[in-house]
A and B are shown apart, each in its own frame.
Chain A
């Protein structure tokens, strides 16, 4: 079997920082696998600003933040980038199998860094009753449709949860001419940044319902309306507080969950609640020489800290290898 010194799975901010740092720390043979056709990961669809304040001391958009790392990677011949490459199997001995257009390959990594990011929690995880019509999207999917595909997925929108992506999408839909009819948050504060509450919701006079939740989604083919109720501190529904909001789209923004099926396949134990690898040290796992960094290690609030910790993962990998 072909053996490579360091294989990194995932070409988002975490994987790119890990690759650059591993190279800086002396690793000469690095293979970076990315399933999309571009490097950059989720940053490519995050067209808003707010990235880089800590790491670059500048305010950048997502694509601009990504570009700085992509450029660096292109200048390093020891980093081989393989795009459209989807890893389907990972074994305990760090051998992995992946699909490329038209073929399947297997190799063994002496050192492996997993930087596979996270996914959004779904409607099912938020336990919302009702029908299953078209028009229910996770906030990040809607973001991709608008910013990358150039499609507007709805006109009258209700947002469930007030995580940053949900808030950002409240503004994004409004700018595109859709009507955002409300942001519904079960807690009494937003889970997103204050800046996003002010600049994405208050700026456009979007109704923000704190201590509320959606109890039912209606609609046959397309979403037609939702039921909203007020809740108390314990999350119990307050009687007679129910009202309806007519809408054609529901966005779910109730949090993120690390994407770790591959390391689970290799036998690494995941925390039942958070889906992070169970470990005492940042980036390390129970398998020597197998590191996890970025949002697949734990869900970070800002990309700058992903970069910081992933640079450390690259260094740890170099230390293990050399």
Chain B
């Protein structure tokens, strides 16, 4: 199977033609540098994304605290992970970098705050 991908590693955006057999990349053409090959292999065999969002607070200085996962999560878990993010509430002051949800969906990643929030 052949698939077309656009490399996102730099603004050039090389269009890569990827040859796939049994979900594994066997050949990549079109990349202008080695980063494109790695990108294509990762993107086909194990696409991952950092999830960013914001979590509702209760009685703190900000109404929403921005959050992200501390490691990338598999692309197909993003929407499920969002369900957990939407359920979460922050009710105590936290600095940036604090764990808000530990081991999100058992994916071995944590959801962490990216901004400090204080008591009012």
Contact = CB atoms under 8 A, between A and B. Distances in A.
Given A61-B52, A147-B54, A47 B63 contact: no
Contacts of B52: 47-49, 61
Contact of B79 (A147, A175, A195, A199): A175
A198 B7 CA distance: 9
B96 A175 contact: no
A147 B66 contact: yes
B11 A194 contact: yes
B8 interface: yes
Given A64-B96, A193-B11, A194-B6, A147 B64 contact: yes
Given A47-B53, A175-B78, A61 B66 contact: yes
Interface residues of B, number: 27
Given A63-B115, A146-B54, A147-B66, A198 B49 contact: no
A32 interface: no
A47 B54 contact: yes
A203 B54 contact: no
Interface in A21-80: 44, 47-49, 59, 61-64, 67
B101 interface: no
Nearest to B49: A199
A189 B109 CA distance: 35
Interface string B95-107: 0100000000000
A150 interface: yes
A64 B95 CA distance: 11
Contacts of B23: none
Interface in B55-106: 56, 62-64, 66-68, 75, 78-79, 82, 86, 96
A272 interface: no
Contacts of B11: 193-194
B115 A198 contact: no
B27 interface: no
A22 to B, nearest CB: 25
A116 B68 CA distance: 28
Contacts of A49: 50, 52, 68
A285 B46 CA distance: 51
B60 to A, nearest CB: 12
B68 A149 contact: no
Contacts of A44: 115
Contacts of A64: 96, 114-115
A197 interface: yes
B79 A67 contact: no
Nearest to B62: A148
A148 B96 CA distance: 16
Contacts of A176: 82, 86
Nearest to B83: A177
B76 to A, nearest CB: 10
B49 A203 contact: yes
B54 A150 contact: yes
Nearest to A190: B13
B44 to A, nearest CB: 13
Given A62-B66, A175-B82, 5 more contacts: A47-B52, A64-B96, A177-B82, A194-B7, A194-B8
